[in-house]
Amino acid sequence: MILGECFEKFIERSPVSVIVRGTLERMFDPEKLERVFTDNALLQYTRELTFAQCVGLMSDVVFRIVPSVGAWYKAHQEEMSVTRQAVYDKLKHLELPTAAGLVAYAGREVGACLQQMPSPPSPVLPGYRVRVLDGNHLAGTDHRVKELRRYRAAALPGHALVFYDPQWDVATDVIPCEDAYAQERTLLPEVVPMVAERDCIVADRNFCTLGFLFGVARRGAFFVIRQHGSNVVGELQGQRRAVGQDTRGQTLYEQAVCLTETDTGATLVVRRITVELHTPTRQGETELHILTNLPAADVPAPQISAVYADRWTIETAFQHLTVDLACEVDTLGYPKAALFGFCVALVAYNVVALVKGALRAAHGAEYVEEQLSMYYLTLEVAQVATGMEIALGPEPWEIFRQMSRAEFTTTLVAIARRLNTKKYTKHKRGPKKPPPQKLSGKHSSHVSTARILALRG
């Protein structure tokens, strides 16, 4: 290992914190971040407070090292040449393409590093790059903005569409939107240009429109999308035939469907995979229809059903963003600032994905997938980061920027081998029990816990 002796004590006590801090040093190289800013900024420019500083402070908030932007400024006030208000003003005016460019840059960097590590995860669909597409609406913020103070209703700062790579567990692209009421489908014209040849887009029926399906197909890409009953109807062709069962034992059927684009009259013949559900959905549906243009010779119906079922991995990612990382900073009321915080959280999630990749190479895929707790991992990073920064200072970390990619990934795996896996193991609970019937609170709004417990015997 090419790290100096100054790192040894922290590698011994908290190797995961060294991995995260070293990865952030490499990812948040000021030169690279300023290049991201230059390439994506529309009207904004830099005076004293740089884009790299904004990313650095927000990453500390996202990793819960500090509770808020204000707390970060108070801790770093002597280093800053601008006022606290100037920091907030910079954040609330950060342009959305810049925030999206940050996520794309991080997705490329992390993905390239993960591909160089030993013991890579198996591809979801060999021969295709699977990308799950889903939306995430940010929770309501505090009513700190003057114009919001007269409203009791939740103040929603916006939402975003996220591309997620389930093989590498990485968020690759994001399309942020300030208008929380804007329908996610209105962003689909921005999604299509981001689709590349041999991509396979997996999405729920909310994204099932003729324009999107034809747009993906025209780019030489593929889709696995649940059919929307009214948006995309099509003309059924031939007989429906049984084609096996999915992993849950539900019967699968397949039938061809001819879709016609309203504007151009162009046609597209796709496969419709029908899943006969054991249990009806909340809407009472007994069948689920999945549309795909993947060739039957390459991908049979049971595999398509499994790929569609795996789209829930992005929901797990969103849950980790909310629970383990601070992706929704309730003190950031301005939409651009809140969405920038969400984008930095996606970058932080990718950093954790790189940590998991190093742990996978060092301790095996089973440990990472079945036992590793994101909660304990991020908790330790938050607890150790400040003391490590005080003890080491910023200079020693620059070595992570200077490494080649091969040296960097080798170093991460070597540090990961020093990790005590028992410290980060999940505590799995047993099967859920049905909740007891609640007693009415109409006549009593509170009870004495001691008296209730006294009735146990």
Within 10 angstroms of residue 81's Cβ, the number of other Cβ atoms is 9
Closest CA to 304 of 450, 179, 147, 130: 130
pLDDT band for position 359 (cuts 50, 70, 90): very high
CA distance 1 to 300: 46
What is the reported pLDDT for 2? 62
What is the reported pLDDT for 324? 78
Q: What type of residue sits at position 227?
A: Q
* Contacts of 143 by beta carbon, 8 Å cutoff, 6+ apart: 149, 151, 155, 333
The length of the chain in residues reads 457
Q: Which residues pair with 132 in a beta bridge?
A: 164, 202
What kind and span of H or E run contains 19?
A: helix 15-27
Burial (CB count <10 Å: 0-12, 13-18, 19+), residue 223: buried
Q: Tell me what percent of the residues of the chain surpass a pLDDT of 70.
A: 99
CA distance 153 to 34: 38
Within 10 angstroms of residue 293's Cβ, the number of other Cβ atoms is 18
User: 304: which 2 tokens?
Assistant: 């398509």
Sequence spans of domains, the chain:
5-94+329-424, 120-319
> Is residue 281's pLDDT more than 70?
yes
What is the reported pLDDT for 284? 82
Average pLDDT, the chain: 90
> Is residue 232's pLDDT more than 90?
no
CA distance 129 to 195: 10
pLDDT digits (tens, 9 = 90+) for 236-263: 998 999 999 988 888 999 999 999 998 8
What kind and span of H or E run contains 136?
A: strand 129-137
What is the reported pLDDT for 234? 87
CA distance 24 to 100: 18
Closest CA to 114 of 419, 352, 345: 352
- Tell me if residue 436 falls in helix, strand or coil: coil
What is the reported pLDDT for 457? 66
Q: Which residues pair with 164 in a beta bridge?
A: 132, 171
Q: Tell me what percent of the residues of the chain surpass a pLDDT of 90.
A: 55
> Is residue 431's pLDDT more than 90?
no
> Is residue 277's pLDDT more than 80?
yes
CA distance 333 to 339: 10
Q: What type of residue sits at position 281?
A: T
Bridge-based pairing of strands 222-226 and 199-203 is: parallel
Burial (CB count <10 Å: 0-12, 13-18, 19+), residue 131: buried
Classify residue 159 by its DSSP letter: E
- C-beta separation of 375 from 323 below 8 A: yes
Task: Please indicate whether residue 431 or residue 450 has the higher confidence score (pLDDT).
Answer: 450
Closest CA to 164 of 47, 319, 3: 319
What is the reported pLDDT for 226? 94
> Is residue 224's pLDDT more than 60?
yes
pLDDT band for position 108 (cuts 50, 70, 90): very high
pLDDT band for position 223 (cuts 50, 70, 90): very high
What is the reported pLDDT for 17? 92
pLDDT digits (tens, 9 = 90+) for 303-340: 999 999 888 887 888 888 887 787 888 888 889 999 99
What is the reported pLDDT for 41? 87
Q: The sheet that has 159-165: what strands, in order across it?
A: 170-177, 159-165, 129-137, 199-203, 222-226, 287-292, 267-276, 251-260, 235-245
- Give the C-alpha distances (Å, rounded to integers) separating 325 from 2, 22, 445: 30, 18, 35
pLDDT digits (tens, 9 = 90+) for 1-25: 567 788 888 898 899 999 999 999 9
pLDDT band for position 133 (cuts 50, 70, 90): very high
CA distance 453 to 431: 25
* Contacts of 90 by beta carbon, 8 Å cutoff, 6+ apart: 49, 54, 82
User: 125: which 2 tokens?
Assistant: 């669909």
Q: Which residues pair with 160 in a beta bridge?
A: 136, 176
pLDDT digits (tens, 9 = 90+) for 59-84: 999 988 888 999 989 988 888 889 99
- What does the pLDDT average to over 90-104? 94
- C-beta separation of 115 from 357 below 8 A: no
- What does the pLDDT average to over 42-56? 86
pLDDT band for position 405 (cuts 50, 70, 90): very high
Q: CB-hemisphere CA count at 13 Å for 336?
A: 13
> Is residue 151's pLDDT more than 90?
no
CA distance 366 to 216: 35
CA distance 214 to 260: 9
Classify residue 63 by its DSSP letter: T
User: 188: which 2 tokens?
Assistant: 């689909």
- What does the pLDDT average to over 386-400? 88
> Is residue 440's pLDDT more than 80?
no
Classify residue 127 by its DSSP letter: T
